[in-house]
Chain A
Amino acid sequence: MHRAKIQETGKQNIENNCRHVLLWASKKQDIMQNTPNKIEFNSQTLELVNKLIKRYPEGRQKSALLPVLHIAQAENNGWLSSEVMDYVASLLSIQPIEVYEVATFYSMFNLKPVGNCVIEVCQTGPCWLNGSEDILKHFEQRLGIKPGETTADGRFTLKKVECLAACGNAPVIQVGTEYHENMTKEKADQLLHQWTQENKCSHTNPYL
């Protein structure tokens, strides 16, 4: 009886601990989405992928995972569905789980659909000292969304990110592979106007 009770308490403790870790993980990362969403690279992209794989010793093709995920995300409108990740796994001859565990770890990979143009606003110390909160608020007002949300027309997604390592020109935002530094509200308006005009897409193959 006593022993059973101890076991029960132990089990509860483990469950509590697990719940804690899971809760932490789910807060930290978006949860993967299983939406039907397939891609296949064209021959030019496949050539690039093969070139990347050859940079690593034989049997170490998994090393190309991060570069290939960047390409896959760009080709899939800026996010990675589980089907896209399965495709990447097949390209690199690794298990799908090996891709999922990596994609959920790194903050640059979006696991839910995003808008056409993702605006990432740095919020860490040096940018904060130079007014990044005002810049973020300004984007929120202009776009009518909160960080993590996408505008109804699917054009813009707003994201808060941590240090982009351009602190000397704070505040800084990133859009695709572009950095925009020394941000002001006026500059934000100018950029938004320009991006709306040209229907800016931030998901382009970063290698090209």
Chain B
Amino acid sequence: MEKTLKYFSPDEVTAEVKKSGLRGRGGAGFPAGMKWSFIDKSNDKPRYFVCNFDESEPGTFKDRHIGQLNPHQLIEGMILGSYALGARTSYIYIRGELFYVLRIIEKAIEEAYANGFLGENILGSGYSLDLYCQPGGGAYICGEETALIESLEGKRGNPRIKPPFPAIVGLYDCPTVVNNVETISALPWIMNNGAEAYAAIGVGNSKGTKLISACGHINKPGIYEIDLGLPVEEFIYSNEYCGGIRNGNKLKAVVAGGSSVPILPADLILKTAKGEPRLMSYESLAEGGFETGTMLGSGGFIVMDETTCIVKNLLTFARFYHHESCGQCSPCREGTGWMEKILQRIEDGNGTMKDIDLLFNISKHIEGNTICPLGDAAAWPVASAIRHFRQEFEDHVKQQKCPLSR
């Protein structure tokens, strides 16, 4: 950080991050450097750099790990990003449930102030920055960047219509960049070792390392930092990572990037439809589109073994999205509730064959018809579960009960 503030201009930092190929680690995978370059520097309005610590995507728990065990790395990243964007005040917006992590970060911020890393004239560089933490109130939607900005302004977390994008009109109507915790925490390494070194890790347009939160029916759930491009099969079965499926059971399905991304059955997560080994990278997981592929998303890797009822698992996701819909757009507000109701009906053994088509139909009417991506996030798991596991839905209807219930 000292090196950067002394020898790099803010634009050179942005150029370095662009060159590193670092992509947003919150789920969308948008190139971070490019997002920074959109910031409006044409007027003298204050600019803000905001950290999205509203980690709430089911299956994702990597950011808590960083905040809890390595808050200094996040703070260093916040200073570097703020310097590049010319922000004088920056905020870390952390979900309210994680108040104990907020206290850890605030303590680390205090230490940073005491040691001259924050405040006036940081390390004699002439650059000044104030950094604060702000808790949320328990709303998944605030992980969407414009909802987060609304929440940071003390309002309901209703996403804004884009454009204008936050880089032009963001926090307090000023140019703002919102980045995920993991993205920001990668900055110190990039600036210390150089963009080339970072870009040398990974495959294709998936550069660097990624934290994967692995959970579900595996022997070793936890957070793994992988070089992007690791084969999925190795990740699931190697003892270095997930250590295989619990009780020696068979793998049934994987949700590879947090609850929002399409679910894939065992054969399609291990190999693409073309028969090539599937890799843990943005491109490889997306290979085949939504017909036979999925997304890397936030890296929330949920593994299900043969004993799992796909319908029930999907029902918990549908209930989640219904609960978390902000209510602004009718397709999402009403659709998520309908999907939950129908899934409950099918799971209880009261569904009909028509319900399955209706469910698919509703998901298609939500997708793309809402202000923010929560609608898509609610629709994709439903559509993909029916696409790949239709037989299991039909079994529920035919047997008038959950075939896998204990």
Contacts and interface: CB of A to CB of B under 8 A. Distances in A.
Given A105-B157, A125-B259, A162 B300 contact: no
B324 A105 contact: no
A129 B307 CA distance: 10
A96 B156 CA distance: 14
B215 interface: yes
B89 interface: yes
Most buried by A among B58, B155, B327: B58
Given A65-B154, A124-B317, A165 B138 contact: no
B156 A101 contact: yes
A126 interface: yes
Interface of B: 46, 55-61, 63-64, 89, 95-100, 102-103, 130, 132, 134-140, 151-157, 172, 213-217, 221-223, 255, 259, 300, 302, 304, 308, 312-313, 316-317, 319-320, 323-324, 326-327, 333-334, 337
B221 A168 contact: yes
Contacts of A123: 316, 319
14 contacts: A62-B154, A64-B154, A66-B134, A107-B137, A108-B138, A162-B319, A162-B320, A163-B56, A163-B57, A167-B58, A167-B215, A168-B222, A170-B215, A177-B99
A167 B317 contact: no
A136 to B, nearest CB: 12
A28 B325 CA distance: 10
8 smallest CB-CB distances across A and B, nearest first, come from A106-B137, A108-B138, A65-B154, A62-B154, A167-B215, A107-B138, A105-B156, A206-B99
B103 A57 contact: no
B313 A165 contact: no
A123 B152 CA distance: 27
Interface residues of A, number: 49
B58 A70 contact: no
Interface in A174-204: 174, 177-179
Contacts of B300: 167
Interface of A: 20-21, 24-25, 28, 55, 57, 60, 62-67, 69-70, 92, 94, 98, 101-102, 105-109, 123-126, 128-130, 161-170, 174, 177-179, 206-207
B333 A66 contact: no
A78 to B, nearest CB: 14
A165 B138 CA distance: 12
A66 B103 contact: no
A124 B154 contact: no
Nearest to B300: A167
A66 B222 contact: no
B157 A108 contact: no
Contacts of B317: 124-125
A105 B151 CA distance: 10
B61 A165 contact: yes
Nearest to B307: A129
Contacts of A168: 61, 213-215, 221-223
Given A62-B154, A98-B155, A102-B156, 8 more contacts: A21-B333, A57-B89, A124-B317, A125-B255, A129-B216, A129-B304, A179-B100, A206-B135
B64 A21 contact: no
Contacts of B213: 167-168
A165 B60 contact: yes
B375 to A, nearest CB: 15
B302 A167 contact: yes
A63 B135 contact: no
B172 A60 contact: yes
Contact of B313 (A62, A125, A163, A167): A125
A66 B137 contact: yes
A166 B213 CA distance: 9
Contacts of A174: 97
Q: Give the most central of A102, A105, A128: most B CB within 10 Å.
A: A105
Contacts of B58: 124-126, 162-163, 167
B221 A165 contact: no
B96 A70 contact: yes
A21 B327 contact: yes
Nearest to A169: B221
Contacts of A24: 327, 333-334, 337
B139 A63 contact: no
B96 A108 contact: yes
A56 to B, nearest CB: 8
B151 A66 contact: yes
A107 B231 CA distance: 39
A165 B103 CA distance: 17
A158 to B, nearest CB: 17
Contacts of B312: 128
A25 B154 contact: no
B135 A70 contact: yes
Given A63-B153, A168-B213, A168-B222, A129 B313 contact: yes
